[in-house]
Amino acid sequence: MFFNSLDFLIFLPIVYALYWLLQQRDLKWQNLLLLVASYYFYACWDYRFMFLLMFSTFLDYFTGIKMADAGNNRIKKFWFWTSIIVNLGFLAVFKYYNFFAENLEASLSAIGWKVDFWTLQVILPVGISFYTFHGLSYVIDIYYNRIQPNRNIVNYSVFVSFFPLLVAGPIERATHLLPQIEKKRHFDYAKTVDGLRQILWGLFKKVIIADNCATYANEVFNHYADHTGSTLLIGAVFFAIQIYGDFSGYSDIALGTARLFGIDLLRNFAYPYFSRDIAEFWRRWHISLSSWFKDYLYIPLGGSKGGFWMQIRNTFIIFVVSGFWHGASWTFIAWGFINALYFMPLMLLGSNRNNIGIVAEDRTFPSIKELGQMALTFFITCIAWIFFRAESMTQAFAMIKGIFSPSLLSLPAVRPTYMIATCLIFFLIEWQGRRDPFAIQHFLLKQKRAIRWTFYYILIISILLFAGKEQTFIYFQF
């Protein structure tokens, strides 16, 4: 069930109406409804993997209680490692087994050992990387006595499987989401309107920006050998815009949908393409994943408190693991490695936290310096995205070579003027709303009612008439 599908358009109002009809009943009934709706939502993808979601949920719920009730540290540690090994084991089998098997087979063949490893012929369970990380953070926090276990199986199950965030995040923390699930929620008209506004903006990002950009990005990437450097660069730029519109659009729909039910999810994007350096970009892109790796991997490794070489080691580990989290492919590992290389000069010069605030926060326009910094950051990000999108390392290097060739100065073969204009208008709106959690949250409220509603109708009509060819949300594959 896609957020931009007719099925979801029917599903959401029904769940929303039933949810608030239960407002006068005990809180457990609202949470039970959310759990049933979430499991139905997930089953619509592939009901065969329901057992995996439910098993992971029960394992971590049971582990949390066992660790809290453990009489000594040895028992506590046993349950902790049981949960970690089982959760990562499932992730390794379904997501990474074939990668390691195929690469080991190729390595052994290169030295003359002919082997034929058995590989899994199964699809990747949707959302497994996300709900696994939900559970891992919960178990780790209990183990280090940061939180107490939740002893209500329904409430904990909603935390793991709440349908707006189930298949592509944001990656929630128990300290943030569970208290909201356990607290009585009351209908708030202003919050509902705000949620609908964010859903509308997210849908526009997805079906108008991302799906239309995908048409041109796919054309270039699928026939990269036939194109000049200028066309390859245009393709990389279109993919950069596509993945932003696709994933931040999903996140807007998820956060807006959750707000309809009186729940606030973690923010996942903060206008990353207005970043002035790569460190700022990673503070603004997929925020929930970046903060997860920071808290549960980077800091335990020693963070930036160790010596010079330890800082370099930890930085490369965090970026490479982040790349590998996205997919079992050398292209994702290379993407992470490249971003680590980008980050190195900032870290070594101690300037990785120079740009913390919002760019041009008190001004309408950026300075020439800020504009140049944003352009450079966007350019190197587009180059890195080539590895993320490419089907192979060979394709990625061929595209990079083509871009940095004399043909870069030729006219591109792909020149969709109307789409370029649409993207420029989109980013102007994003720029205008960059101080808010989503672009059209507040600045439109300053306008007259007629102007606001004209804008909303333009978005709705655009979505109905000019949606691009339907594309699966990119992050559903992770």
pLDDT of residue 25: 84
Question: Hey, what are 248's tokens?
Answer: 């931040």
8 A C-beta contact, residue 101 and residue 117: yes
pLDDT of residue 120: 67
pLDDT of residue 321: 95
Q: Is 134 in the active site?
A: no
8 A C-beta contact, residue 227 and residue 137: no
Q: Which of 154, 242, 151 is nearest to 205 (CA)?
A: 242
Question: Reduced to 3 states, what is the DSSP secondary structure of residue 341?
Answer: helix
Question: Reduced to 3 states, what is the DSSP secondary structure of residue 469?
Answer: coil
pLDDT of residue 6: 86
Q: How far apart are CA 30 and CA 158, in angstroms?
A: 11
Taking only the tens place, the pLDDT of each residue in 168-183 is 889 999 999 999 999 9
pLDDT of residue 21: 93
pLDDT of residue 163: 95
Q: Which stretches in the chain have pLDDT values below 50?
A: none
pLDDT of residue 338: 97
Q: Which of 210, 369, 155 is nearest to 277 (CA)?
A: 369
Q: How far apart are CA 437 and CA 169, in angstroms?
A: 16
Q: Which of 134, 227, 286, 326 is catalytic?
A: 326
| DSSP letter string, 239-293 | HHHHHHHHHHHHHHHHHHHHHHTT--PPP--S-GGG-SSHHHHHHHSSHHHHHHH
